[in-house]
Amino acid sequence: MRRTKYQEAEIHPALVAALTSAKCSIQLAIGWISEPGILGLLQKKALAGIEVEIILFQDGDSQNTLFNGQTSSESVRLVRVGESLKEQLIDAKFGLIDGGEIVIEGDYRWRAGTAGAGREIILSSDAHTLATAYRQEFNYLFHHGEMASGASKPTFGLPDLIKRLEVMQTLFKMEDTDYLAFRLDGLREFSEDPDIAFIVDKIEEEEFASAYDEVTAFIENHRLALACINPPIDNLLHEIQQLERQISEVSQEVADTQKRMSAFSKLHGEKLGDLLEGILFETKIKAKRLAEADPGKQEIYEEAASDHEKYTSSQEAVRKNKTRALDAREQKELKRLYRKASMKCHPDRVVDELHDQAQAIFLELTEAYKNNDLEQLRAITEQLNNNRMADKSEVLTERKKLESTRKGLIDKLAEWNNQLEELLRQPNSKTINAIDDWDDYFNETRVLLEDQLFRLRTENKAAKIQQEKSEGLRLTGSGKEAFSD
């Protein structure tokens, strides 16, 4: 797919060039048109035998004298839809040149005096799925434009394709590539589109980074078409479902980061705790000796004693907190079950009536995940399978409620992102993320700490021997004086 964006003064020349290039047909679902240059060009194309089809609204701006007052001709057909259908049927303006050889999208007014307006259009070519989706939408609108606003609308393939790609996008983000292969059949249905065929090839070749970039670009390039095809309620529901998934993803990242930091801290204590405890003890002894010689250093001693006490207490707490070790297969199952369960009971996703219940289950779930309690995770997952909690998007239908829910979820997602960013900003988190191999890190650090502890012990031991000698000399001197008296 090739896409080019035009803004402000670039728009009019780009539209003129696109419309001029038409060889057989021009289809415009634009709501209104009164820009003289474009009207003249369309008239010229119609007279040259190019089929022109236009969908307009029944409002004052669209009651223009199109094609010398004609509302239809052999080459021009117009359909006017009522204002009540405006939001449902044409949520975004679009056009097709030669059945989709060129696709026109964007917020341009098509009115007189708007040639330099602050708007944007996108012209796309080699866009198989995009052209097909808009072609289907145009035919639906053109032939059913006068239908009642409550009438049902056929289901087109694009929304289903985008949903499948968004699921795959989530799997990419979670590095859960094992399940991608099971979803390829759903994509192959759309493999006539070269972009989709390319994504399938990249996944089969396990070039996941490239596949992820292509999936992300494809979703973004079809956003406007999806907004046009889906009525506003469907769009809101879809966006809410996306926000729910994003909240689950970010909260999973938070849990994974906390779990990683906890695991590193525990391993740090196991591998290096004895040395650090010894270093803090020897540092305390050294500080005490210096404080005895210089009372001005008493504060340094108290700080060293406090550090030793705090570390000893924290190590004791870590020793009591037994986290079961899991093999690679069990770790994978643990993560899969946590993701599956959190999607079902996340308190920010479920309906308000179940918030407190979901909050309690989610806390229990997170604790089990943190402690590698696979059995507990299995039990919670089974419980949620038997007693399913409804998502907000499943029970809300009124638009005002949906818009309110959408705003609330956006705020919640921002809170989760802030929490994740705060975790990642912590110095120990940055340290952990910078370590490529934990075993190498602990082995190298242990050597350094052993050297530091040896030097401290040697220094303290030498100071103690020197102190004992000094005390012995004082005692010997005192004895001699007593004898001479």
pTM: 0.50
Q: How confident is the model at residue 401 (pLDDT cuts 50, 70, 90)?
A: low
Q: How confident is the model at residue 5 (pLDDT cuts 50, 70, 90)?
A: very high
**124 vs 360 pLDDT, higher one:** 124
Residue 406: pLDDT above 80?
no
For residue 415, the model assigns a pLDDT of 85
Which CATH superfamily is 2-144 part of?
Answer: Endonuclease Chain A (3.30.870.10)
Least confident of 8-17, 138-147, 176-185, 351-360: 138-147
For residue 37, the model assigns a pLDDT of 85
Q: How confident is the model at residue 394 (pLDDT cuts 50, 70, 90)?
A: low
In single-letter form, the type of residue at position 300 comes to: I
User: What is the pLDDT averaged over residues 291-311?
Assistant: 89
Least confident of 78-87, 224-233, 352-361: 78-87
The model's pLDDT over 260-278, given as tens digits with 9 standing for 90+, comes to: 888 888 888 888 888 888 9
- Give the highest mean pLDDT range of 189-203, 262-276, 330-344, 457-471: 189-203
Residue 106: pLDDT above 60?
yes
The model's pLDDT over 407-432, given as tens digits with 9 standing for 90+, comes to: 778 888 888 888 888 888 888 888 88
Residue 92: pLDDT above 80?
no
Q: How confident is the model at residue 67 (pLDDT cuts 50, 70, 90)?
A: very low
For residue 109, the model assigns a pLDDT of 76
Query: Domain map of the chain by residue range?
Result: 2-144, 157-230, 240-434
Pairing mode, if any, of strands 51-57 and 76-81?
parallel
| Contact yes or no for 377/334 (Cβ under 8 A) | yes
Least confident of 357-361, 391-395, 434-438: 391-395
Residue 19: pLDDT above 90?
yes
What is the spatial order of strands in the sheet that 76-81 belongs to? 2-7, 120-125, 102-107, 94-97, 25-31, 51-57, 76-81
Least confident of 89-103, 147-161, 199-213, 347-361: 147-161
Least confident of 57-71, 77-91, 409-423: 57-71
Residue 74: pLDDT above 60?
no
| Whole-number Å distance between alpha carbons of 199 and 207 | 9
For residue 216, the model assigns a pLDDT of 93
For residue 424, the model assigns a pLDDT of 87
Residue 148: pLDDT above 70?
no
Least confident of 51-55, 347-351, 402-406: 402-406
Residue 56: pLDDT above 90?
no
In three state form, how does the secondary structure of the chain look? CEEEEEEHHHHHHHHHHHHHCCCCEEEEEEECCCCHHHHHHHHHHHHCCCEEEEEEECCHHHCCCCCCCCCECCCEEEEEECHHHHHHHCCCCEEEECCCCEEEEEECCCCCCCCCCCCEEEEEECCHHHHHHHHHHHHHHHHHCCCCCCCCCCCCHHHHHHHHHHHHHHHHHCCCHHHCHHHHHHHHCCCCCHHHHHHHHHHHCCCHHHHHHHHHHHHHHCHHHHHHHCCHHHHHHHHHHHHHHHHHHHHHHHHHHHHHHHHHHHHHHHHHHHHHHHHHHHHHHHHHHHHHHCHHHHHHHHHHHHHHHHHHHHHHHHHHCCCCCCCHHHHHHHHHHHHHHHHHHCCCCECHHHHHHHHHHHHHHHHHHHCCCHHHHHHHHHHHHHCCCCEHHHHCCCHHHHHHHHHHHHHHHHHHHHHHHHHHHCHHHHHHHHCCCHHHHHHHHHHHHHHHHHHHHHHHHHHHHHHHHHHHHHHHHHHHHHHHC
What percent of the chain clears pLDDT 90, i.e. is strictly above it?
A: 19
Residue 83: pLDDT above 70?
no
Report the mean per-residue pLDDT for the chain. 80
Residue 478: pLDDT above 70?
no
